[in-house]
């Protein structure tokens, strides 16, 4: 489900309007509030411009911006003078939501890649997959894989970058650097006893995203222990 929704979201050209099929009631937009934080300091970024796939634009003078989004796959681009564009992708449900996302600048990107004895390739992109619990603590024990070609995958903790694709108690996201442009499929293996879904609708399954040269694509998932209601629904014929 999420693979189809995200693929559709990434295919919507900026400035396009939702198609009116004339069948049934039109979808009701929800409010998506995006809180943009500096990747190094954790401070609110007040210099970011957020743009939806339909062309709505809002600044983050107070560190956050709210956009009208349709339920289903969405794409919001976060732009700032000192950073690569960050393409925030997810699957919206029928309720308003808030998404917290970190934004790195080009200087920090270069320093981290240097610690890994590599350099960013402007002809390729970065993919960041954040895997959290609902309280935003890392979903330790989860692991991330992609079917695309990339140079290196790493987590970033207090002591710097460490190669690998496992979420730990001190690192809630995996970065894939120098990913070849084009569609890739992201799969997350959840911690034992938990289920993971693309935020905020928690759409389960593999997620398809588009990688764009010299940009950062950010996908956020939340993991939790399935509720009794979920187990009951899954067992119904």
Q: What's the predicted TM-score (pTM) here?
A: 0.88
Q: Write down the pLDDT at residue 26.
A: 80
Is residue 53 within 8 Å of residue 14, measured between CB atoms? yes
pLDDT (tens digit, 9 = 90+) per residue, 149-180?
A: 999 999 998 888 999 999 999 999 999 999 99
Q: Which residues of the chain have pLDDT under 50?
A: 1-2, 4-5, 8-17, 19, 21, 232-235, 237
Task: Report CA Rg, the chain.
Answer: 17
Q: Write down the pLDDT at residue 4.
A: 45
Per DSSP, helices labelled H in 163-221 are none
- What would the CATH number be for the domain defined by 2-13+29-235? 2.60.40.10
Cα torsion angle, 66, 50, 83, 202, sign? positive
pLDDT (tens digit, 9 = 90+) per residue, 192-226?
A: 999 999 999 999 888 999 999 999 999 999 999 98
Q: Write down the pLDDT at residue 37.
A: 97
Neighbouring C-beta atoms of residue 71, cutoff 10 Å: 16
Question: CA-CA distance, 163 to 170, in Å (whole number)?
Answer: 14
Domain spans in the chain, listed from the N-terminal domain onward: 2-13+29-235
């Amino acid at each position: 489900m999420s693979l189809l929704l995200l693929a559709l979201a990434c295919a919507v050209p900026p400035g396009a309007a939702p198609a009116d099929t004339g069948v049934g009631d039109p979808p009701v937009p929800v409010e998506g509030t995006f809180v943009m934080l500096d990747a190094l300091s954790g401070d609110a970024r007040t210099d970011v411009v957020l743009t939806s796939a339909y062309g709505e634009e809002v600044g983050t003078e107070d560190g956050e911006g709210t956009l009208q989004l349709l339920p289903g796959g969405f794409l919001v681009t976060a732009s700032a003078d000192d950073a690569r564009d960050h393409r925030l992708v997810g699957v919206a449900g029928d309720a308003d939501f808030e998404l917290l996302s970190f934004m790195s600048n080009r200087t920090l990107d270069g320093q981290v890649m240097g610690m890994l004895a590599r350099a960013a390739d402007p002809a390729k992109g970065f993919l960041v997959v954040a895997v959290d619990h609902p309280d935003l603590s890392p979903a330790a024990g989860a692991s991330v894989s992609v079917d695309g070609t990339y140079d290196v995958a790493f987590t970033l903790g207090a002591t710097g970058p460490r190669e690998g694709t496992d979420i730990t108690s001190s690192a809630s996201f995996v970065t894939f650097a120098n990913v070849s442009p084009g569609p890739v499929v992201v799969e997350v293996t959840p911690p034992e006893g938990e289920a993971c879904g693309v935020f905020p609708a928690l759409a389960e399954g593999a997620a398809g995203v588009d990688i764009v040269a010299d940009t950062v694509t950010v996908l956020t998932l939340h993991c939790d222990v399935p509720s009794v209601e979920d187990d009951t629904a899954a067992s119904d014929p």
